[in-house]
Amino acid sequence: MVKGTKVINSTVIKKAERIKLLLTDCDGVLTDTGVYYSANGEELKRFSIRDGMGVERLRKYAGVDTGIITGENSEIVIRRSEKLNISLLYLGIKNKVKTVMGIAEYRKLKYDEIAFIGDDSNDVEVMKLVGLSACPADATIFATETADFKTSSRGGNGAFRDFAELIITAKLNVKKEKE
């Protein structure tokens, strides 16, 4: 499969075909790596509208659910997940592996049916656990070395959307083959 000028490994496509749930870190994936404070000290986060469309398209075209797992406790992330109708939101998580294991058990999913996109060292163990992992173009070396797929977009600038489109395309191709 070719995305722009980038050839995507057939193993990655096969993994993407099985995905039923896409989980993501927040800061550095759904947002850029900056933290913004106003004069009043209120934290602000910048989200990409394209990533939001990726959540919607995953649900509509691929039947894939989404969730956010972040170490932060942020009202802004709560509001963003509500706006996008993201069904799973885990804030203040220090042990992401344990959280993903709990989600898999609760949702009766195998690990190879779960995808995760993360950008830093605290995401690596989850990336190793799940069936398909990705990182933004500007992820740290820890995430880059672990990821099955590196997006062409930076965190907060469409990285989630890139990964979502990979999964959507893989699942739609399987659907066409069965028809």
pLDDT at 5: 36
Is the per-residue pLDDT at 9 higher than 90?
A: no
Residue with tokens 């740290």: 140
- Which amino acid does the sequence have at 176? K
Does the pLDDT value for residue 6 go beyond 60? no
| Residue 174: pLDDT band with limits 50, 70, 90 | low
Give the separation between CA 179 and CA 169, rounded to whole angstroms.
16
Query: Which range has highest mean pLDDT (32-46, 141-155, 161-175)?
Result: 141-155
Can you give the residue ranges of every domain in the chain?
Answer: 2-178
Q: What angle do CA 94, 24, 173 make, to 5 degrees?
A: 150
The tokens for 125 are: 């163990």
Phi, psi dihedral angles at 113 (to 5 degrees): -100, 5
Q: What is the pLDDT of residues 98-128, one digit of tens each?
A: 999 999 999 999 999 999 999 999 999 999 9
Distances (CA, A) of 60 to 6, 40, 65, 90: 26, 40, 10, 23
Could you give the percent of the chain with pLDDT greater than 70? 92
Q: Which residue has the tokens 């398209």?
A: 57
- Answer whether 0.85 is exceeded by the pTM: yes
Instruction: Pick one of 3.40.50.1820, 3.10.20.30, 3.40.50.1000, 3.30.750.24 as the CATH number of 2-178.
Output: 3.40.50.1000
Q: Which residues contact 38 (CB under 8 A, 6 or more apart)?
A: 44
